[in-house]
A and B are shown apart, each in its own frame.
Chain A
Amino acid sequence: MTQLALQMTQSSWTALAPTLLLGLSALALLLVDSISPEESDSTLLAGVAGLGSLAAAVTTMVFLFGGRGLPTEQGGQGIVSLFGDQIVVDQMSLFFTFIVASVVTLVVVASSDYLRDHRYKAEYYTLVLLASTGMSLLASANSLAIAFISLELASLPSFALVAFLKSNKGSVEAGLKYFLIGALSSAVFAYGISLVYAATGALQFDAVATAIGEGVQTGVLGIGILMIVGGVAYKTASSPFHFWAPEAYEGAPAPISAFLSSASKAAGFVLAFRVFLTAFPVDVAGAAIDWVLVFQVLAIVTMFVGNFAAATQEKVKRMLAYSSIGHAGYVLIGLAALTGGVDQSQVLGAGMAHLLVYGFMNTGAFLFVALAEYWGVGRTFEDYNGLATQAPLACAAMTVFLFSLAGLPIGGGFFSKFTLLMATVNSGTWLLGAALIINSALSLFYYTRVVKAMWIEDPADGLELDDYPVGLYTAVVAAGVVTFLLLPGFDVVIGFAESAASLV
Chain B
Amino acid sequence: MAGAFTYAPAIAALPFVSFLVALFLGDRMPKGGALAGIAATAGSLLLSAWVALTVAGGATYNQTLYTFIEGIDTFELTLGILIDPLTALMLLIVSLIAFLVHVFSLGYMNDEGETGLPRYYAGLGLFTFSMLSFVYASNILMAFMFFELVGLCSFLLIGFWFREAAPPSAAKKAFLVTRFGDYFFLVGVVGIFATFGTGAFAGAESFPAIAEQALNGEAEVTTFFGMDPQTWFTVLGLLVLGGVMGKSAQFPLHTWLPDAMEGPTPVSALIHAATMVAAGVYLVARMYGFYALSPTALAIIALVGGFTALFAATMGVVKQELKQVLAYSTISQYGYMMLALGAGGYVAAVFHLTTHAMFKALLFLGAGSVIIAMHHNENMWDMGGLKDRMPVTYWTFLSGSLALAGIVPFAGFWSKDEVLFEALIHGLGSDGGLGTVLLAAYAMGLLSVFFTGFYTFRMVFLTFHGKPRTETARKPHGVGWNVKFPLAVLGVLAATIGFLNMVPLEKLTGIHLSFLHDWLAHGGIEMTTSETYGTLLHDVAGVTAHYPLGELGTTLASAAVSLGLALAGVGTAWSLYNVDEPTEHTDKLGSLKTVLMHNYYQDEYQVWLATGVTYPLARAADKFDQGVVDGVVNGVSSVSLFGGGRMRRLQSGVVSNYATLITTALVVLLVAFGLIGGWF
Contacts and interface: CB of A to CB of B under 8 A. Distances in A.
Query: So, do A and B actually touch in the complex, CB under 8 Å?
Result: yes
Interface of A: 176-177, 180-181, 184-185, 188, 218-219, 222-223, 226-227, 229-230, 239-241, 243-244, 246-247, 287-290, 293-294, 297, 304-305, 307-313, 322, 442, 445
B673 A308 contact: no
A184 B665 CA distance: 14
Contacts of A294: 669, 673
Given A308-B644, A442-B640, 5 more contacts: A185-B662, A188-B666, A222-B673, A243-B662, A304-B647
A323 B655 CA distance: 21
A244 B669 contact: no
Given A309-B647, A312-B648, A177 B679 contact: no
A293 B645 CA distance: 28
B677 interface: yes
Interface string B235-254: 00000000000000000000
Contacts of A312: 641, 644-645, 648
Interface string B655-680: 10011011001100110011011111
A297 B669 CA distance: 10
B643 interface: yes
B648 A309 contact: yes
Tell me the dominant secondary structure on chain B's binding face. Answer: helix
B551 to A, nearest CB: 85
A308 B662 contact: no
B676 A226 contact: no
8 contacts: A188-B666, A222-B674, A222-B677, A288-B679, A290-B676, A290-B677, A293-B673, A308-B646
A47 to B, nearest CB: 38
B138 to A, nearest CB: 54
A223 B671 CA distance: 10
A219 B673 CA distance: 10
Contact of B655 (A176, A226, A289, A322): A176
B659 A181 contact: yes
Contact of B644 (A188, A244, A293, A309): A309
A240 B637 contact: no
B656 to A, nearest CB: 9
B549 interface: no
A246 B651 contact: yes
Contacts of B679: 218-219, 222-223, 288
B72 interface: no
A457 B645 CA distance: 24
B570 to A, nearest CB: 78
Given A219-B680, A294-B673, A312-B645, A180 B640 contact: no
Nearest to A286: B677
A177 B677 contact: no
B650 interface: yes
A186 B309 CA distance: 100
A243 B641 contact: no
A181 B662 contact: yes
Given A243-B658, A308-B643, A310-B644, A218 B673 contact: no
B648 A181 contact: no
A223 B651 contact: no
A502 B680 CA distance: 36
B666 A311 contact: no
B670 A223 contact: yes
Nearest to A306: B647
A188 B648 CA distance: 25
A188 B665 CA distance: 13
Contact of B677 (A289, A304, A322): A289
A307 B673 CA distance: 26
A88 B506 CA distance: 120
B677 to A, nearest CB: 5
Q: How large is the interface on B (under 10, 10 to 19, 20 to 34, 35 or more residues)?
A: 20 to 34
Contact of B662 (A226, A241, A304): A241
Nearest to B656: A180
B248 to A, nearest CB: 57
Given A219-B674, A290-B673, A290-B676, A230 B666 contact: yes
A311 B647 CA distance: 10
A311 B640 contact: yes
Given A308-B640, A312-B644, A226 B658 contact: no
A289 B643 CA distance: 32
Contacts of B676: 289-290, 293
Contacts of A227: 666
Contacts of B680: 219
Interface in B502-531: none
B635 to A, nearest CB: 14
Contacts of A226: 666, 669-670, 673
Contacts of B637: 445
Contacts of A244: 658
Nearest to A438: B640
Nearest to A244: B658
Contacts of A288: 677, 679
A322 B647 CA distance: 11
A180 B659 contact: yes
A336 to B, nearest CB: 14
Contacts of A185: 662
Contacts of B655: 176-177, 180-181
A226 B641 CA distance: 33
Contacts of B669: 226, 229, 294, 297
Interface in B622-652: 637, 640-641, 643-648, 650-651
Contacts of B673: 222, 226, 289-290, 293-294
Contacts of B651: 243, 246-247, 309
B648 A313 contact: yes
A288 B680 CA distance: 12
A333 B677 CA distance: 22
Contacts of A310: 644
A227 B648 CA distance: 26
Contacts of A445: 637, 640
Identify which of A243, A287, A290 gathers the most chain B CB atoms within 10 Å of its CB: A243
A322 B649 CA distance: 13
Nearest to B676: A290
Nearest to A230: B666
A305 B647 contact: yes
Contacts of B647: 304-305, 308-309
A263 B643 CA distance: 30
A290 B678 CA distance: 11
Given A219-B680, A246-B651, A305-B647, A240 B662 contact: yes
Contacts of A311: 640-641, 644
Contacts of A313: 648
B85 to A, nearest CB: 69
Interface string B42-64: 00000000000000000000000
A227 B673 CA distance: 12
A288 B658 CA distance: 28
Contacts of A287: 677
Identify which of B637, B651, B653 gathers the most chain A CB atoms within 10 Å of its CB: B651
Contacts of A229: 669
A246 B649 CA distance: 12
Contacts of B650: 305, 309
Contacts of B659: 180-181, 184
A289 B674 CA distance: 8
B677 A218 contact: yes
Contacts of B658: 177, 181, 243-244
Nearest to A178: B655
Contacts of A223: 670, 674, 679
Nearest to B660: A243
Nearest to A229: B669
Interface string B416-455: 0000000000000000000000000000000000000000
B678 to A, nearest CB: 8
Nearest to B640: A442
Contacts of B653: 247
Nearest to B642: A312
Identify which of B673, B676, B679 gathers the most chain A CB atoms within 10 Å of its CB: B673
